[in-house]
Structure 1
Amino acid sequence: MSQPQTNIPNILPNWVDSSHVKGMLRGIERESLRMQSNGFLSQADHPKTLGSALTHPHITTDYSEALMEFITPPQETIDQVLNYLRDIHAVVHRHLENGEKLWPLSMPCMLDDTEESIRLAQYGTSNIGRFKTLYRHGLGIRYGRRMQTISGVHYNLSFPDQLFEALQEKETDEELKALSLQDYRSHRYFGLIRNFIRLTPLVMYLVGASPSVCKCFMTGRDHHLLPLVGGTLFLPYATALRMGNFGYQNSAQKELGIHYNNLKGYLEGLQKAVKTPYKRFTRLGLEDKQGEPTQINDHVLQIENEYYSLVRPKQVPQDGETPSEALQNRGVGYVELRAVDVNPYSPIGIDEDTAGFLEVLALYCLLQDSPELLGDEQNQIEQNQTEIVNRGRAPNAKIHENDHEYAVQEWLSKHLLHMQPFSQLLDDTYKTKIYSQALKTMLNRTADVDETLSVGVIEDTIEYGGTWGFGSHLAVQHAAVYETHKLSKKTLAYFDEVAKISIQNQQQLEEDNSKSFKEYLTDYR
């Protein structure tokens, strides 16, 4: 299917140039399960030689003790952030024990029938460490531990202040012109967020890589999935089941009405959720028969991070601040794009094409009009997301936008072609071809469904006899890449030092016995 090249409106404001976007920063958080040599989920502790999962800035754990999370600091270019992520993977691989490897897919495999064999992440005996583990225990009894073994990629992105200053100068609304730079920046980031939510079907289709799941993941759950091969279930036209009903869902949260129309309303909704009891969670109880706590509280959200969303406004917290307090005090500093599957074909879970596409998309979302996102449109967006997740590659799949119905390929092409001037701007800014190449890749996936990651995953799952065969094949390949990745002496020394410091920091926290955990928890509640 050829793409029309004529009559494409240039919707990049003509005054925006490289000087406005130079200074963008990006960071990546990538999750991956440790698996034993026999393929089952690791039961071993987080490797001590990597440092403390509680206090290490780059190598930690997410829900499970076996679910590793790798975090880069903000970097000035895509090349730099991907190289940093490669270094982290290579360092981690050196410290894995007993033949363990990193599972390469978003959806887990080889879970046994016992939920308790999915070990909660452990952070030591300090109050904050015990609090983090209790939070995970609460997630387990609320939603089940299997759901918490899903891996994803979070792409963090910020734009420089000179862009917001220039945008504010161009405003015709006197109220917006009168805002402080901090408040205006937050206003524009929330516009980006609303547009990103509208366009998440783009992300799910173009970088979705979870069209199938290991049968073990569905143990004890009703589902409409079909058998594919070798203990694997799928939907014939699915793209990203991770983002659907089998992924991170919280029906209680949908009743909250948390919106992204402004920072004040967002924070009020979040705080209400953290402070509002929810009957189903109340019935679970706060303690077990031995009097040990089982969840932090019985509220809709135990803590703010429990709010599952496709994109989050973020600000770096200072000591003692909650995420909401950081946003309240200093406004939005960056956005966290969370609707991204792990790319199983990349040893680091993400490649240049995905990174470049996400940055073009984010700039496109930032610089377009972004009306308030209200209930009817939100419902329509959720229907679009469901359509793409479950049957996005179907020949008759449809997207609804602004009272129009589009064939999926037509809708994807429309937005991707509108993004081309944005990719050219970023290429010019960074003296690269990454952004235009990323858009070319996404246009190819739009024109030829066989080029999508989700089709590749289905074909290779069949070739290797199931999810386990495919995933383990890739895990071995990726391990060989980590083996050959050269780490400089400076990098090795840095990670050794950070590991030692992280252990010392954890020990310091554990030596503070001024308050018992029961008192600590009572104070929080």
Structure 2
Amino acid sequence: MNNATHIPSSGGTFGLERETLRVTSDGRMAHTPHPFPEDAHIVKDFCENQAEINTGVHAAAQGAVDELLEQSKRLCAAIRGRGERLWLYSNPPMIKNADDIPVAVFHGEQKSKYDYRLYLAEKYGKYIMTLSGIHVNYSLPEELLRAQFASSGATDYSEYKNAAYLRLAQGMTEYGFLLNLLLSASPICDGSYFDPARSGETVVTDYASLRCGKDGYWNDFTPILCYDSVQAYAQSIQKYLDEDVLAGVSELYYPIRLKPRGANRLELLTQYGVNHIELRNIDVNPFSESGVDVRDLEFIELLCLWVYHTYADALSEENQRRAVGNFKTAALLDIDSATVLTPQGERLTVREAGNRVLDTMRTYYGEDQRATALLQYQQDKLKPPGRRYAERVIKDFTEKYDDVMK
């Protein structure tokens, strides 16, 4: 069956967030003030020398990438006179000690942001907070949703749309390990991240993505979420807040999140419904000037649309735990020894599992040339040896990890 009609010409909408560190010309953590204190597009993240670059919402992946590059260049121009650059990677440069990671300071009405960061530093430690990545915010095509609603027999569009996103979130939790497998790009790190005595030593870790692996950016428990309704989804998160397991909804370190329009608040989610899905497990790509390759974003859209049209299972607690385990396993560098578990209980190597999903998607999209090209780009990464971003990073950057190239 040719499903080219399932690939809208306009597509969904994209918004990007890129976390990045400001470093000196010799690749050390910068200690100057954040250059854009009043700019919504370039804000402080966890620490003063970590910026978050935010784009607006774009009707195509290319527009989001173009703006991300534009905002990145604006930040680079502002710090160039200080002798600073943006760090290329998701993993940090050499860290002298914890004082190299000054918690971002906020005053007045925003003081709670400072207090929250102090809490995170105490709970998780400062070092892990320097791990940076790309967050992809994606909205399904409104035209597609409305057309399918019209033929569904449903009577409430808001409920139909929320149900679509709840199904999408479950499917992307099931198949999101593919993003770790294909987009991970942070296998190397300065030794100081692990031990001050190893400062200046470039370490090749066991991970294609340190931040997505089992020792990376995760809560110290596995959240179990309810997808029966938006209200149930919000309540399953609120439970962790009420139990003081999480200090705020932003502390839910989960690779797939459903978000409302505007601020990330549960009351907005339940009142106005889901606006987009947030995918948080994408590494900064040092081979792309913007930090993300547009072909990867367009593949993410293909994956989301395939999941939207085909995923029909309910993600049980057991399957949520299994899926989280698959995420962590797929972040490993060795994808031929590590195995993931399918919903049917079958053990596959990570490479085998990735190829199986990509083959299924190719069958689904049929002869559509755009989909074929995008899927081929991803499948080529799985052809040994050494074609994934992580493997290319080891080859190209291990000898010059501390070089600053932007």
The alpha carbon displacement at 1:21 in A equals 6.2
Q: Which amino acid aligns with 1:45?
A: P
> How many Å separate the matches in 1 of 2:74 and 2:305?
33
The alpha carbon displacement at 1:94 in A equals 1.1
Percent of residue pairs identical: 25
Do the aligned partners of 1:312 and 1:335 also contact (CA within 8 Å) in 2? yes
1:149-168 matches, cutoff 5 A:
149-168=130-149
> How many Å separate the matches in 1 of 2:132 and 2:366?
32
1:344-363 matches, cutoff 5 A:
344-363=286-305
Q: Which amino acid aligns with 2:82?
A: N
> How many Å separate the matches in 2 of 1:414 and 1:272?
37
Do the aligned partners of 1:108 and 1:213 also contact (CA within 8 Å) in 2? yes
Aligned residue in 1 for 2:380: 444
The alpha carbon displacement at 1:339 in A equals 1.0
The alpha carbon displacement at 1:169 in A equals 4.6
Aligned residue in 2 for 1:207: 183
* Selected match of 1:35 from 4, 19, 23: 23
The residue matched to 2:163 in structure 1 has which SS? Answer: helix
- Cα deviation digits, residues 331-354 of structure 1 (max 9, x gap): 101111111111111121101221
Divergent runs of 4+, >4 A: 421-427
1:29-68 matches, cutoff 5 A:
29-47=17-35, 50-52=36-38, 56-68=39-51
Residue 75 (structure 1) aligned with residue 58 (structure 2): yes
Aligned residue in 2 for 1:133: 114
Do the aligned partners of 2:181 and 2:350 also contact (CA within 8 Å) in 1? no
The alpha carbon displacement at 1:76 in A equals 1.4
1:410-425 matches, cutoff 5 A:
410-420=352-362
> How many Å separate the matches in 2 of 1:201 and 1:220?
32
Do the aligned partners of 2:185 and 2:389 also contact (CA within 8 Å) in 1? yes
Change (3 A) 1:145 1:423: farther
Residue 231 (structure 1) aligned with residue 201 (structure 2): yes
Change (3 A) 1:316 1:422: farther
The alpha carbon displacement at 1:305 in A equals 0.8
- Cα deviation digits, residues 362-402 of structure 1 (max 9, x gap): 11121112311112222322332332223542x33323211
1:319-338 matches, cutoff 5 A:
323-338=265-280
> How many Å separate the matches in 2 of 1:263 and 1:447?
40
Change (3 A) 1:404 1:332: same
The alpha carbon displacement at 1:267 in A equals 0.6
> How many Å separate the matches in 1 of 2:209 and 2:138?
22
The residue matched to 1:185 in structure 2 has which SS? Answer: helix
Q: Which amino acid aligns with 1:332?
A: V
The residue matched to 2:391 in structure 1 has which SS? Answer: helix
Q: Which amino acid aligns with 2:85?
A: K
Could you tell me the TM-score, scaled by structure 1's length? Answer: 0.72
Aligned residue in 2 for 1:398: 339
> How many Å separate the matches in 1 of 2:56 and 2:367?
25
The residue matched to 2:318 in structure 1 has which SS? Answer: helix
Change (3 A) 1:449 1:201: farther
Change (3 A) 1:231 1:369: same
For structure 1, the residue ranges without an aligned partner over 5 or more in a row are: 1-9, 172-176, 222-226, 277-298, 428-432, 480-525
The alpha carbon displacement at 1:189 in A equals 0.8
Do the aligned partners of 2:134 and 2:280 also contact (CA within 8 Å) in 1? yes
The alpha carbon displacement at 1:405 in A equals 2.4
Residue 269 (structure 1) aligned with residue 236 (structure 2): yes
Aligned residue in 1 for 2:394: 458
> How many Å separate the matches in 1 of 2:391 and 2:191?
19
> How many Å separate the matches in 1 of 2:333 and 2:72?
33
Change (3 A) 1:23 1:206: closer
Do the aligned partners of 1:104 and 1:347 also contact (CA within 8 Å) in 2? no
Aligned residues: 404
Which structure is larger by alpha-carbon Rg, 1 or 2?
1
The alpha carbon displacement at 1:109 in A equals 1.5
Do the aligned partners of 2:329 and 2:339 also contact (CA within 8 Å) in 1? yes
Question: Which deviates the most, 359-368 or 261-270?
Answer: 261-270
Higher helix residue share: 1
* Selected match of 1:105 from 66, 72, 89: 89
The alpha carbon displacement at 1:275 in A equals 2.2
Residue 371 (structure 1) aligned with residue 353 (structure 2): no
Change (3 A) 1:146 1:426: farther
